[in-house]
Amino acid sequence: MSVYRAEYIWIDGTEPTKKLRSKTKIVPKGEEPPIWAFDGSSTQQATGDRSDCVLQPVHVVLDPIRGGDDKLVLCEVMLVSGEPHPTNTRRACVEASKRYGDFDSWFGIEQEYTFFKGARPLGFPDGGFPAPQGGYYCGVGADEVFGREVVEAHLDDCLKAGLRISGINAEVMPGQWEFQVGPLNAPDIGDQLWLARWLLYRAGEAFGIAATLYPKPVRGDWNGAGAHTNFSTRQMRESYEPILAAIEALKGRHSLHIENYGFGIEERLTGLHETASYKEFTFGVSHRGASVRIPWQVAKDRKGYIEDRRPNANMDPYVVSRLIMETVCGAATAGSKPRQMAAATA
Ligand code: ADP
Ligand code: MN
Ligand code: MN
Ligand code: MN
| Digit-coded pLDDT (tens) for 19-64 | 999 999 999 999 999 999 998 999 999 887 778 899 999 999 999 9
HSE toward the beta carbon, residue 284, CA cutoff 13 A: 10
Question: In ligand 1, which atom is closest to the CA atom of 288?
Answer: 3
List pLDDT tens digits, range 216-241: 999 989 999 999 999 999 999 999 99
Average pLDDT of span 302-310: 98
In the chain, where the domains are located:
3-88, 96-345
Question: Which run of H or E residues covers position 203?
Answer: helix 188-205
* Order of all β-strands in the sheet with 20-28: 20-28, 3-11, 71-78, 52-62, 36-39
- Decide: 243 and 294 in contact? Cβ < 8 Å: yes
Q: Give the pLDDT mean for 85-94.
A: 97
CATH number, domain 96-345: 3.30.590.10
Distance CA 25, CA 4 (A): 8
Ligand 1 touching residue 232 (CB < 6 A): yes
Whether the per-residue pLDDT at 336 is higher than 50: the answer is yes
pTM (2 decimals)?
0.95
Q: Note the pLDDT of residue 56.
A: 98
Q: How confident is the model at residue 1 (pLDDT cuts 50, 70, 90)?
A: low
Give the separation between CA 26 and CA 7, rounded to whole angstroms.
9
Residue nearest ligand 1's atom 1 by CA: 110
- Our answer on whether the CB atom of 305 is closer than 6 Å to any ligand 1 atom is yes
Look up the CATH number of domain 3-88.
Answer: 3.10.20.70
